[in-house]
Amino acid sequence: MKRRKRYLTATMPDGYVKTIGPTSDPFTHYWRIVAILQNGKTEVFWGHARSLTEAKSKKAATQEAAKMRGWTSWQFEIAELVESDTPPD
């Protein structure tokens, strides 16, 4: 049986809204890393996960990534995805 397509929307603590879709994948959470480089520039990495546990596991890799990429600071955030049948306005 084919899964129905739907839109998934995450709202981050700073008000940023990310919409994924249409998709039939069973994603439940969105994660984002906002990193500050030594030269003051910002890098943003993001993704979606099929569970809160999977999303939290991405945080473990940030320590090593910070060393490899030369981040001076970073924030790791997770937001739950909200499902809808229609695209947001």
pLDDT digits (tens, 9 = 90+) for 31-51: 999 999 999 999 999 999 999
Q: Any residues with CB less than 8 A from the CB of 80 and at least 6 apart, and which?
A: 10, 28, 29, 30, 52
Mean pLDDT on 78-84: 95
Who wins on pLDDT, 53 or 85? 53
55/36 Cα distance (integer angstroms): 21
Task: Give the pLDDT of residue 20.
Answer: 92
Task: Give the pLDDT of residue 30.
Answer: 97
pLDDT digits (tens, 9 = 90+) for 57-70: 988 888 888 989 88
